[in-house]
Amino acid sequence: MRIDVVTVFPDYLAALDLSLIGKARQAGLLDLRVHDLREWTTDRHRTVDDTPFGGGAGMVMRPDVWGCAIDAVLDGDPAGHLVIPTPSGEVFTQRHAEALAAEQHLVVACGRYEGIDARVAEHYRAAGRRVSEVSIGDYVLNGGEVAALVLVEAVGRLLPGVVGNPESLVEESHGAAGLLEYPVYTKPPVWDGLEIPEVLLSGHHARIDRWRRDRALERTAQRRPDMVAALDVARLDKHDRALLADLGWDEVDGRLRRRPGAVAE
């Protein structure tokens, strides 16, 4: 896969030389190219922004500079998919990462200030390109660079051959079964007076699997009630349903619903 990132702070993306993604690049699995937007300015001051039409605070990034930059890195490739990090985008999830990992060529346009002139996304959509405006969460960053790091890591690790042990990916797709992960432990068996749950030393795999599923259900109920409400009840066993009932979740018309007046643990 090829990914071009365009930014006024190319040094921000230096972290992508490291670790798993750095190795994927060295191995030729990921062709990642980082560009300075100012390469496509034409004035003496290398201007990338201007004041907003209609008034208001801050500056907006100019569509003409962005158009030149994006056309250059698209390189005539009809498969190029434009990705624009923005707090007004769809919230980026593992489903988006999976879809983007199936593409051949991504162009990530990192805005700064109050963002990129809206005609840029409009122009590339009108030209028949896929354009994804995505947010990495409900908080505000100063620009799209950190979001681009998140996107490249989330997508890059899904490319064939990038994660050494594909079982890691398989286990996580259980996470796609809609639960948070269970708690994990390693040596030493006693730390700071804290022991590990005895069942994990039992060698009894069925009991260990059940214990882990119970902890995953408890954690999810406590931290992510939205995920419990989205569970497919048909895919829960009797034990799952009993535990969730204990935690205050009842089955109503094939969905789980928090019992009114249930007390949080």
> Which residues sit in the known binding site?
111, 136-141
User: With binding defined as CB under 6 A, does residue 85 bind ligand JB8?
Assistant: yes
Give residue for tokens 């030729």. Answer: 28
Among 80, 111, 156, 248, binds ligand JB8 (CB under 6 A): 111
**Using an 8 Å Cβ cutoff, are 25 and 33 in contact?**
no
CB 137 to ligand JB8: min, Å: 7
Q: Which stretch binds ligand JB8 (CB under 6 A): 11-19, 107-115, 179-187, 226-234?
A: 107-115
CB 125 to ligand JB8: min, Å: 18
At 227 the three-state DSSP class reads helix
Q: Residue 41: which residues within 8 A CB-CB, separation 6 or more?
A: 47, 48, 65
In this structure, the strands spanning 249-252 and 255-258 are antiparallel
Give the tokens for residue 170: 């398989």
Query: Of all helices (H) and strands (E), which one includes residue 5?
Result: strand 2-7
Q: Which stretch binds ligand JB8 (CB under 6 A): 41-49, 81-89, 150-158, 171-179?
A: 81-89
Instruction: Compute how many residues bind ligand JB8; rule: CB under 6 A.
Output: 13
Distance CA 125, CA 122 (A): 5
Among 29, 59, 99, 141, binds ligand JB8 (CB under 6 A): 141
State the DSSP code for 143.
Answer: B
For residues 57 and 140, which CB has a smaller minimum distance to ligand JB8 in the complex? Answer: 140
For residues 116 and 228, which CB has a smaller minimum distance to ligand JB8 in the complex? Answer: 116
Binding site for ligand JB8 (CB under 6 A): 85-87, 111-112, 115, 135-136, 140-141, 143-144, 147
